[in-house]
Amino acid sequence: MEIGEGAMAEVVSSFWKNKKVFLTGHTGFKGSWLSLWLQNMGAELTGYALAPATNPSLFADAKLEKNMKSVIGDIRNYDLLKKTLTEFKPEIVIHMAAQPLVRYSYQNPIETYATNVMGTVHLLDSVRFSPSVRAVVNVTTDKCYENKEWIWPYRENESLGGYDPYSNSKACSELVTSAYRQSYFHPEKYSEHQVAIASARAGNVIGGGDWSTDRLIPDILRALKSSANLQIRNPRAIRPWQHVLEPLSGYLILAQNLHQQGARFSEAFNFGPAQEDVKDVEWITKKLLSELGSSKKIEIVKSDLHEAQYLSLDCAKAQAVLGWKPKWNVGLALSKIAEWNRAYDENPVGIDKMTLKQIEEYIRN
Ligand SMILES: NC(=O)c1ccc[n+]([C@@H]2O[C@H](COP(=O)([O-])OP(=O)(O)OC[C@H]3O[C@@H](n4cnc5c(N)ncnc54)[C@H](O)[C@@H]3O)[C@@H](O)[C@H]2O)c1
């Protein structure tokens, strides 16, 4: 692959105007931010996901249903997914629907594998029957690598693995992507099928509008509203933290390039933060508390389940090949969360405006 030459390195709003985009997982945290961004650029958007899993949810509060076709369906239901995808005739597919929680996956491994592995099979198989599709981005995770607990960041060509069912199911989703690409959408036969498929591995994503359980930022924000101590597990666990708009811009840039130049970008890409933003849990907690002006007491609790201690991503490839690079450092990301949260506490009904304001600031940055 030639380095960088001719790639679209920014999100190009005019590219997305009137583009037919099929997004799975649109009711979730990242899916809601991406839906709003795509709507704002004028994309014709259909989403496919379960109903929002949390109450409140950004999907409901930002009134996202108004400007898209939202299909509430299960990714494990192949027939419904295939029918919805083929009838909509999208050009671009972004696959984010997943069971994304590590701790939940320990309790519900079958559901996690069914959703994350067979869900990917169902999605890619549906693409086989949708001649309109030109580009597919499968969103996996930094956790798909075999974690060697070493200090070096993982590169796209390193071994896949995954200790817990969630991480492992995402490694499987990567393997499924690779098998479908080779079997049905081989880059060397691009002129015959005209489908370009890539996978995207992001870091630990943070931002306003996440109410999931067992995730650090929502756990901190919930604790601040209760009289109990703020409990954190694994204070020394190190993760590649990044604002939600960072990987989303990577997915959009990747999709643009797949659509415009096809097979050249049909590969896996990491989208993580700069190395200085790879921080431990305690650092993130204290920094967010200080952004929020809180003196809440932190209580360290022992973790009962295995979670990786050290994880970071090497993003040299995304930078060299796509021209993508991180814009907001982790400190800024945390201050954006505090700003978003203050706005939400004052007026939940107006949160679409604050979310859009942050998207526009990110684009201008
Ligand atoms: N949040 C992070 O830190 C992070 C980091 C790396 C990768 N990811 C990946 O990004 C994607 C989105 O994550 P998120 O944080 O927005 O999670 P989320 O839980 O907020 O959203 C998950 C979405 O998937 C949908 N979904 C779950 N099970 C489904 C099923 N059986 N059928 C149809 N839809 C289903 C949900 O309805 C929801 O729309 C996931 O693939 C996740 O693995 C997340």
Q: 96 pLDDT exceeds 80? A: yes
* pLDDT at site 302: 85
Percentage of residues of the chain with pLDDT beyond 90: 93
Question: pLDDT tens for residues 34-89?
Answer: 999 999 999 999 999 999 999 999 999 999 999 999 999 999 999 999 999 999 99
Q: Could you tell me the pLDDT band of residue 2, with boundaries at 50, 70 and 90?
A: low
> How far away, in angstroms, is 293 Cα from ligand 1 center?
30
Mean pLDDT along residues 170-184: 98
Dihedral sign for Cα 18, 23, 26, 31, please.
Answer: negative
In the structure encoding, which two tokens stand for residue 125, read together?
A: 């198989």
- Integer Rg of the chain from CA: 19
Distance CA 78, CA 119 (A): 8
- Secondary structure tally for the chain: helices H, strands E: 15, 12
Q: 18 pLDDT exceeds 80? A: yes
> How far away, in angstroms, is 329 Cα from ligand 1 center?
23
* pLDDT at site 5: 79
Encoded amino acid at 153, one letter: P
Distance CA 175, CA 199 (A): 10
Mean pLDDT along residues 11-37: 98
> How far away, in angstroms, is 97 Cα from ligand 1 center?
5
**Using the 8-state DSSP alphabet, how is residue 145 labeled?**
B
Q: 308 pLDDT exceeds 90? A: no
Cβ atoms within 10 A of the Cβ of 110, count? 8
How confident is the prediction for the chain on average, in pLDDT?
Answer: 96
Assess contact for 223 and 301: CB atoms under 8 A: no
Pairing assessment for the beta strands 69-72 and 278-280 based on DSSP bridges: unpaired
Assess contact for 60 and 52: CB atoms under 8 A: yes
> How far away, in angstroms, is 101 Cα from ligand 1 center?
8
Q: Could you tell me the pLDDT band of residue 6, with boundaries at 50, 70 and 90?
A: confident
Of 323, 330, 332, 322, give the one whose Cα is nearest residue 361: 332
| Predicted structure pTM score | 0.98
Greater model confidence, 302 or 146: 146
3-state secondary structure of 341: helix
Distance CA 326, CA 198 (A): 19
**Using the 8-state DSSP alphabet, how is residue 91 labeled?**
S
The DSSP code sequence of 232-244 is EE-TT-EEEEEET
* pLDDT at site 10: 95
The atom number, within ligand 1, closest to the CA of 47 reads 39
The atom number, within ligand 1, closest to the CA of 204 reads 3
Q: Which residues are registered as beta bridge partners of 278?
A: 240
**Angular region, 286: left φ>0, alpha ψ -120 to 50, beta rest:** alpha
Mean pLDDT along residues 19-28: 98
Q: 4 pLDDT exceeds 80? A: no
The atom number, within ligand 1, closest to the CA of 49 reads 34
The atom number, within ligand 1, closest to the CA of 142 reads 6
Residues 6+ apart with CB under 8 A from 188: 263
Is the shortest distance between the CB of 202 and ligand 1 below 6 Å? Answer: yes
Q: 1 pLDDT exceeds 60? A: no
Is the shortest distance between the CB of 77 and ligand 1 below 6 Å? Answer: no
* pLDDT at site 328: 98
Distance CA 310, CA 195 (A): 36
Distance CA 170, CA 179 (A): 14
Distance CA 248, CA 253 (A): 9
> How far away, in angstroms, is 49 Cα from ligand 1 center?
9
Is the shortest distance between the CB of 311 and ligand 1 below 6 Å? Answer: no
Query: What are the domain boundaries of the chain?
Result: 13-203+242-273+309-329
Give the C-alpha distances (Å, rounded to integers) separating 262 from 189, 195, 202, 213, 256. 11, 7, 22, 38, 9
Question: pLDDT tens for residues 245-303?
Answer: 999 999 999 999 999 998 999 999 999 999 999 999 999 999 999 999 999 999 999 88
The atom number, within ligand 1, closest to the CA of 27 reads 39
* pLDDT at site 314: 97
Q: Give the rounded distance of the alpha carbon of 314 from its chain centre.
A: 17
Q: Could you tell me the pLDDT band of residue 228, with boundaries at 50, 70 and 90?
A: confident
Q: Which residues are registered as beta bridge partners of 239?
A: 279
Place of tokens 């200085």: 276
* pLDDT at site 3: 65
| Phi and psi angles of residue 149, each rounded to the nearest 5 degrees, phi first | 55, 35
Q: Which of 96, 118, 206 to mutate to test the pocket of ligand 1 (most atoms within 8 A of CB)?
A: 96
Q: Which of 30, 315, 337 to mutate to test the pocket of ligand 1 (most atoms within 8 A of CB)?
A: 30
Is the shortest distance between the CB of 27 and ligand 1 below 6 Å? Answer: yes
> How far away, in angstroms, is 263 Cα from ligand 1 center?
27
Q: Which of 29, 78, 177 to mutate to test the pocket of ligand 1 (most atoms within 8 A of CB)?
A: 29
Encoded amino acid at 209, one letter: G
Second CATH level (architecture) for the domain 13-203+242-273+309-329: 3-Layer(aba) Sandwich (3.40)
> How far away, in angstroms, is 189 Cα from ligand 1 center?
32
Is the shortest distance between the CB of 208 and ligand 1 below 6 Å? Answer: no
